[in-house]
């Protein structure tokens, strides 16, 4: 049965569930500041391979799932939101995530390997090597996180041609991406909830090793995540692992390199088979 929404802990999450109904399910987790629509060019490729794709608008993005304080955006809740979705699917899934969706996916794959058949991470590594890299060059790349933690200021500079849009253009966005941000995030009311993930960083739990087949996909034109963030990442995956570097692609892999994103997911699924 197609899932259009699901409920966890009194919150209602919207879902885009498409592709062959009898296909193996692939759950796709978006990052910031995007919604489930960021997978719109990846999903059809997976459908052609016989797979069903299930992409939720996560906590803070779905209108029915927007806690008002940062304490509603702790990583434990973000992980359990995905677990609840997989329970709704009714069977183990292949999991993929980009940006913040990748950060959450690492936690899901480590905590509930019984529910995850394969894991494809994009842009953001396992949290331990990422934390270690903050002692070096990555610290400078992550300074934007400090801005996002200032109460109200990011919301105030998110207007047309404001500082946030200029930051995103500098990261690889084009006019169409900016317009989608205005419509799907700012006008939709999802920006405060999306920023809540950053403001709850201190609530992040420890994430263990991942035992399922895993692929890490990173692009070398990523202005937010540098190569040093992946040093030693293989130590945190005990199952089959592959690191793939995309040349000349910006941070926004699902929208700027959908074929590569789909290929990575399909490759990880093949390892699980």
CB 253 within 8 A of CB 122: yes
Helix ranges (H only) for the chain are: 43-48, 75-89, 100-111, 127-133, 138-141, 144-148, 153-156, 163-170, 175-181, 191-199, 253-256, 258-272
Q: How many Å apart are CA 66 and CA 43, to the nearest integer? A: 26
Domains of the chain: 5-143+203-272 (3.40.50.1820)
Q: Mind listing the pLDDT tens digit for each residue in 145-185?
A: 888 888 888 888 888 888 889 999 999 999 999 999 999 99
Q: Kindly give the interhelix angle for 75-89 and 100-111, rounded to the nearest 10 degrees.
A: 70
The DSSP bridge pattern shows strands 214-219 and 241-246 to be parallel
Q: Is the pTM of this model over 0.85?
A: yes
Q: How many Å apart are CA 108 and CA 78, to the nearest integer? A: 9
User: Which uninterrupted H or E stretch holds 53?
Assistant: strand 52-56
**pLDDT value of position 150:** 83
CB 262 within 8 A of CB 42: yes
Contacts of 171 (CB under 8 A, 6+ apart): 223, 224, 250, 251, 252
**pLDDT value of position 204:** 74
């Amino acid at each position: 049965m197609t899932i259009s929404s699901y409920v966890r802990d009194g919150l209602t999450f919207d879902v885009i569930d498409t592709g062959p109904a009898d296909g193996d399910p692939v759950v796709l987790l978006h990052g910031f500041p995007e919604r489930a629509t960021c997978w719109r060019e990846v999903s059809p490729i997976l459908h052609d391979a016989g797979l069903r794709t299930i992409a939720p608008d996560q906590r803070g993005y779905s209108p029915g799932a927007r806690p008002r304080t940062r304490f509603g955006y702790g990583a434990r809740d973000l992980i359990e939101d995905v677990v609840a979705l997989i329970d709704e699917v009714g069977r183990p899934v292949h999991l993929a995530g980009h940006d913040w969706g990748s950060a959450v996916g690492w936690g899901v794959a480590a905590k509930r390997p019984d529910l995850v058949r394969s894991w494809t991470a994009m842009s953001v590594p396992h949290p331990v090597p990422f934390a270690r890299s903050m002692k070096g060059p990555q610290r400078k790349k992550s300074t934007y996180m400090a801005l996002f933690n200032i109460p109200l200021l990011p919301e105030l500079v998110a207007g047309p041609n404001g500082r946030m849009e200029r930051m995103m253009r500098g990261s690889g966005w084009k006019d169409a991406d900016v317009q989608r941000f205005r419509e799907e995030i700012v006008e939709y009311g999802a920006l405060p909830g999306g920023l809540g993930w950053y403001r709850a960083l201190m609530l992040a739990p420890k994430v263990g090793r991942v035992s399922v087949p895993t692929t890490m996909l990173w692009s070398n034109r990523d202005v937010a995540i540098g190569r040093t963030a992946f040093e030693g990442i293989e130590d945190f995956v005990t199952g089959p692992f592959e690191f793939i570097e995309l040349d000349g692609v910006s941070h926004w892999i699902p929208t700027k390199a959908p074929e590569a994103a789909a290929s990575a997911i399909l490759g990880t699924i093949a390892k699980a088979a």
